[in-house]
Structure 1
Amino acid sequence: MSEKATTVYDVAEHAGVSIATVSRVLRRPDEVRESTRERVLASVKALGYVPSASARGLAARRTGVVGLFFPDFDAMRETSAFVPDRSGTVPVIPDPAADDVTGSDLLYFDEVLRGAEIEAWRNGLVLLVGVGRGVDSRSIVSDIAGRVDGLAVLAGSVPDEMLEHIARRIPVVLIAGPRRDDDFDHVSVDNRAGMRALADHVFDTRDIDGVLYVRGVGSTPDDAERFEGFSEALAARPASDRPGVSVVSAEFSRERARVIGSSLASSGHIPDAVICANDQMALGVLDAFRDHGVDVPGRVLVAGFDGIDAGRHSDPRLTTVQQPMEDLGRAAVHVLTERLADPSHAPVTLRLPVRVLVRESTTA
């Protein structure tokens, strides 16, 4: 027979205090006299007491947990308080040499997840992460929603009617994409301005007669906004200076973009520039051009979007739009905590700035 778990009542009796005092020591220790606090903590340690999250949740009507839901990953610290940057500018700057920076090959979801975890930890919350896989994605997000105080969701990964149903019970924050006709809080980056600045940089680097735009999945909000930015940059140029454009989809996949790049190289029909809607696709194009001996940037310019670490270690290093992926995750949890503290305030739209990092894939 298993030993009976220690309860808050056992701790209170052992320390000679009330259960309310034990609760205050564990949740708001600064409000309890030091001698009492030390006595209660000594009893907690002596009895091996572990507070029950479910019991706390029943008492406070809160779980202390926030959720983060992504689509399938495979298909796609000490720190200060989060302060959003609302400057609204898109700087175009030379990026320092790869030797000057450190980091692992983190991808978009990894960075967003890390930011969300940091902000949850800073606020004394637990982060519950769910990944929608196949036909079970609806049941997964529904299950997560039933376990958390608030939920951050990548825009477009959950049907609107399901989000509306969830939002009747808990706050929902959408990550990425523009605000639509809804009452959710939104956190995103300026995809359109970033891609327009990137395209302007490429078009201004040298004479471009033909450009290939490689997009992701057209149904995703980020992809649509980035294509709008590219189209705006194109339309803003004089007709005599406007390159011919081809558009293909590589579904945000490095492998599919590698096939596209190999096809271009094998056919000999290589455009003057290839602009990709994310870094993974741009890296796939670079892979193919390198394998076929195509000179980048001498023969063709290549650029991406996201600013993942792999782009600073490619050969040549990848020109890209760096979005604050970690800050996206932090902002989502930050907005959730504010919504939990004051459910009545108006829906929030937080748009984080981006910057163009100019590297060797577009400049000698």
Structure 2
Amino acid sequence: MVDIKNTKVTIYDVASEADVSLATVSRVLNYPEKVKPATRERVLEAIRKLGYRPNAIARGLASRKSTTVALIVPDVSRASVAEMINGVVDIARKYDYTVILKVTNSEPDVEEDIWQEVFAAQVDGIIYLNDELQEHNIKQIKSSDVPVVLCNVGVDDPTIACVSIDFEKAFYEATQSLINKGLKDILLVSTRSAYYVNSFKERGYINAMKEANLEPNIVRTSGRLVVNYPFFIDYLKNHKPEAALVVRDSIAVSMINAASEVGIKIPDELEIISFQNTKYAKMSRPTLSSIDNPIYDIGAVSMRLLTKLMNNEPIENLNVVLPHNIIWRNSTKN
């Protein structure tokens, strides 16, 4: 048994003892009138039993009037995520908001803890990027006491605020552009992980191929170079597609390098179109044709949409779809 007297008691201990969330404990401490009497008394009893002493500075921060926004992302090493963060922060700065960045590392347990932390911190709104969106994530968004905007993820639910491009349409159009050149053996390179947005990309590709009476061909690999590069080496030694659509720029660059290694000329023998139009597309040799996902704008518009929600401003459509286009470079023929 833990000797409470000799252990620093935290808000986590109180929440566990009272069998409530961190957010509920925080509300009892800062806004007790908003908590049901029975729940409030259970929390207060846990505080008395454990001898919890809330940090006065933290309580002061929680009760101040300035607006705080939590930005929850899976990873900050990707160029696209960094650009999206810039868009969010630039708009937040205009409104004098404080932005708290939380990184889940795509780990469900970490993500659950982070949601509890941001609720306990009593943030005013949340911008949420999750490539691997699941049903329980949707429920989390819908049950939130504060506004949540999904960033760079589209959902088929008009009640959820989200900002993205039309991923399905983008990949349909990109596939169609290759078909219109007379190409038939068109490969789609997707990911092994169940990224939510990739299901839309795959749907667009499949629809375009089937409309042209062509057989879809999807292969899956990791986003990690140490895995996808040898995968491409092996695949391209045994298969010779005429073209490939790739769901991420960094993966496409790895495919270009592997093609060069096995003697396949880009774009003469293999044309490649990628997605994102990040710095990797411009740095690649040859430069990479890519579907432009306006990720900075997506971050900025997400922050503006969240501002409207926090201020109860009228909103015509919670599902915001931004325009996209294909940037043609040297990985495809003119």
RMSD over aligned Cα atoms: 2.4
Partner in structure 1 of residue 198 of structure 2: 223
CA–CA distance in 2 between the matches of 1:185 and 1:73? 23
In the TM superposition, residue 257 of structure 1 has moved relative to its aligned partner by: 3.1
Report the residue type matching 1:223 in the other structure. Answer: N
Whether contact under 8 Å (1:260, 1:285) holds in the other structure is no
Q: Aligned equivalents of 1:217 and 1:164: distance in 2?
A: 28
Indicate if the aligned counterparts of 1:120 and 1:127 stay in contact, CA closer than 8 A. Answer: yes
TM-score (norm 2): 0.74
Q: Could you say what secondary structure the match of 2:301 adopts?
A: helix
SS of the counterpart of 1:159? helix
Pair member with larger Rg:
1
- Please state how far the C-alpha of 1:346 moved relative to its aligned partner: 6.6
Q: How does 1:190-269 map to 2 (within 5 A)?
A: 190-205=166-181, 207-217=182-192, 219-237=194-212, 239=213, 242=214, 244-267=215-238, 269=239
Instruction: Measure the CA separation in 2 of the matches of 1:161 and 1:58.
Output: 28
Residues 226-250 of structure 1 deviation map (CA, whole Å, 9 limit, x = unaligned) = 111112221232x3xx3x4321112
Contact 1:176 1:221 in 2 (8 A): no
Shift of 1:149: 0.8
The amino acid of 2:199's aligned partner reads A
Please report the TM-score for the alignment, with normalisation by the length of structure 1.
0.68
Paired residue secondary structure (1:129): strand
Deviations 1:326-363 (A, max 9, x none): 01111111111111111675761111111101111111
Per-residue CA shift, 1:169-202, capped at 9, x if unaligned?
2111112333334632111111112111211222
Distance in 2 between the 1:114 and 1:273 partners?
33
1:162 corresponds to which letter in structure 2? Answer: Q
Report the counterpart of residue 143 of structure 1 in structure 2: 117
What is the percent sequence identity of the aligned residues?
18
Return the letter of the residue paired with 2:233: S
Q: Give the match's secondary structure for 2:264.
A: coil
Aligned to 1:128: 100
**In the aligned structure 2, how far is the partner of 1:116 from the partner of 1:59?**
22
User: Using a 3 Å threshold, how does the CA distance of structure 1 residues 210 and 59 change in structure 2: closer, same or farther?
Assistant: closer
The 1:70–1:308 alpha-carbon spacing in structure 2 relative to 1, beyond 3 Å, is same
* C-alpha distance in structure 1 between counterparts of 2:256 and 2:124, whole Å: 44
Gaps of 5+ in 1: 1-51, 77-106
Counterpart in 2 of 1:171? Answer: 147
In the alignment, structure 2 segments of 5+ residues that lack a partner are: 1-56
In structure 1, the partner of 2:72 is: 69
The higher relative CO (CA closer than 8 Å, separation ≥ 6) is in 1
